[in-house]
Amino acid sequence: MFPRDFAWGAGTAAYQIEGGWQADSKGPSIWDTFCHEKGKVFGDQNGDVACNSYELWEKDLECIQKLGLTHYRFSLSWSRLLPEGTTRHVNQKGVQYYNKVIDDLLACNVSPMVTLYHFDLPQALQDQGGWKSPSTASLFDSYAKFCFQTFGDRVKLWITINEPYVCAKLGHEDGIHAPGLKEPGTTAYLVGHNMLRAHAMAWQSYDSLYRSRQGGQVSLAINSDWVEPFNTDCNEDIAATERYLAFSLGWFAWPVFVTGDYPEIMRSAIDAQSRKLGHKDSSRLPSFSKDEPSVLGTADFFALNYYTSRKVKPGGGCGRMMCMKSDRDAAEVLDPSWPICGVSWLAVVPDGLRKLLKYIKDTFNNPTVYITENGFSQLGPVEIEDVQRAEFYKDTILKVAEAIQEDGVRVRGYFAWSLLDNFEWADGFSVRFGLFHVDFADEMRSRTVYRSGQEYAKMILKHKLGK
């Protein structure tokens, strides 16, 4: 059903699980700062301790082994390794921690997939302008080279930046993620641009300096919903759907996989809205410089984070104000037949993943694909017997198998989100995605496998046995 060397994984991110927010000389990140301000996160919760994986890594490793994972995706904390964000000051305790994680995984025949950046910019760099500053791309490249040099002899799958869309829009347009900026209509495009530049520099550095001796692969993780027209016979709805895809998936995939530039639909929509609002200056969507290496071709595989699907029609703007929603002019509609799991935005549509995988194959030149995140959330009372989530994983993995066998999509791995219940950004600990429940009221942060974790382990074992 799946390729013999298929990657069966689960994922986490440093800020969401590690805790130890100032242990052993770690520097603060923008999420430390954001969470320590009142009113930013559900219940004013924070990741100061979270799952305490900085001290309880061996417990995480036990969870990984119980599931029988072949791969584990985790992120490095930039400010744990480089407290000031630059290689002038290296925190050896941070290096030792990640060396142990990587070495322990390999000793258990688990391959690491390492994310360099999962939302947690060092605060020292935010103080210098953060992702709005063009120079942050070069600083990221230096950090990436440090990581390739330090860990690349053992790490063969790298993600440079996780979900640049979320970092740009939620962090710099909506202000609901760190660094909490609300600068609609301009800053998100600039941030997304600098993140793409940073990714391209890091990929080029790996390609020229490390690939020949380390033999790894590098990509960036792009999140996207699957979307369809609200009315499939309505031209306006069809056009809105194309715009929605261009402003989400296309924003980052088009430059990397197709043209080296943003989708024309995206640029023309932004520029038309600017003219409408009397904004006569240069385009709010930046252009790539001919003096820098091209972003085109800077991915060795397609890393996809998929959670949900939408129907789309025109609308959803901000009146006379400049904002991404007005530029996009595409309103999201939930199909009432789709069940909702936990958080209101997460409609359960496994078939949407299959359709999105086929779209990626057809649009982006049939790349190798790793599904780097996919999951099902739980709210309210803890249900260890999470039958719905267990069914979700069965249904979803069946759709991935169909995408491989019937649609010819070259899917090479699937990473459930998440290994553990963890700090779910602005939702704090109120939303749970784990295959293992973490008791945050317990000082030892005890981990208990959910029914979904047990079922996922059975699916992995069945594959390993060739059934």
Instruction: Report the CATH number at residue 453.
Output: 3.20.20.80
Q: What residue type is assigned to position 31 of the chain?
A: W
Q: Is 268 contained in some domain?
A: no
* Structure token pair of residue 31: 């999420």
Q: Is 253 contained in some domain?
A: no
Q: Is 36 contained in some domain?
A: yes
Q: Is 108 contained in some domain?
A: yes
User: What is the predicted pLDDT for the residue at 236?
Assistant: 98
Kind and range of the H or E element at 147?
helix 135-151
Q: Is 295 contained in some domain?
A: no
- Of 18, 228, 373, 455, which one is the catalytic site residue? 373
Chain centroid offset of residue 229 CA: 25
Q: What residue type is assigned to position 100 of the chain?
A: K
Task: Give the model confidence (pLDDT) of 138-172 as tens digits.
Answer: 999 999 999 999 999 999 999 999 999 999 999 99
d(CA 206, CA 264): 29
Which DSSP category does 155 fall into?
-
Coil, strand, or helix at residue 69? coil
| pTM (2 d.p.) | 0.98
Q: What residue type is assigned to position 268 of the chain?
A: S
What's the N-to-C CA distance of the chain in angstroms?
Answer: 8
d(CA 448, CA 457): 14
* Structure token pair of residue 68: 């029988």
d(CA 356, CA 309): 9
d(CA 163, CA 377): 19
Relative to beta strand 436-438, strand 447-449 is antiparallel
Q: Per-residue pLDDT for the chain (467 aa), expressed as one digit of tens each?
A: 899 999 999 999 999 999 999 999 999 999 999 999 999 999 999 999 999 999 999 999 999 999 999 999 999 999 999 999 999 999 999 999 999 999 999 999 999 999 999 999 999 999 999 999 999 999 999 999 999 999 999 999 999 999 999 999 999 999 999 999 999 999 999 999 999 999 999 999 999 999 999 999 999 999 999 999 999 999 999 999 999 999 999 999 999 999 999 999 999 999 999 999 988 778 999 999 999 999 999 999 999 999 999 999 999 888 888 999 999 999 999 999 999 999 999 999 999 999 999 999 999 999 999 999 999 999 999 999 999 999 999 999 999 999 999 999 999 999 999 999 999 999 999 999 999 999 999 999 999 999 999 999 999 999 988 87
Domain range for 161 is 7-227+348-466
d(CA 158, CA 160): 6
d(CA 238, CA 404): 27
Kind and range of the H or E element at 170?
helix 164-172
Asked if 373 is an active-site residue, the reply is: yes
Q: Is 2 contained in some domain?
A: no
User: What is the predicted pLDDT for the residue at 467?
Assistant: 73
Total residue length of the chain: 467
Q: Is 428 contained in some domain?
A: yes
* 408, burial (CB in 10 Å: exposed 0-12, middle 13-18, buried 19+): exposed
Say which residues have a Cβ less than 8 Å from residue 296's Cβ, sequence separation at least 6: 255, 256, 257, 258, 259, 260
Q: Is 339 contained in some domain?
A: no
Domains: count for the chain: 1
d(CA 353, CA 403): 9
Say which residues have a Cβ less than 8 Å from residue 291's Cβ, sequence separation at least 6: none
Angstrom CA distances, 259 to 190, 249, 297, 364, stand at: 19, 14, 9, 10
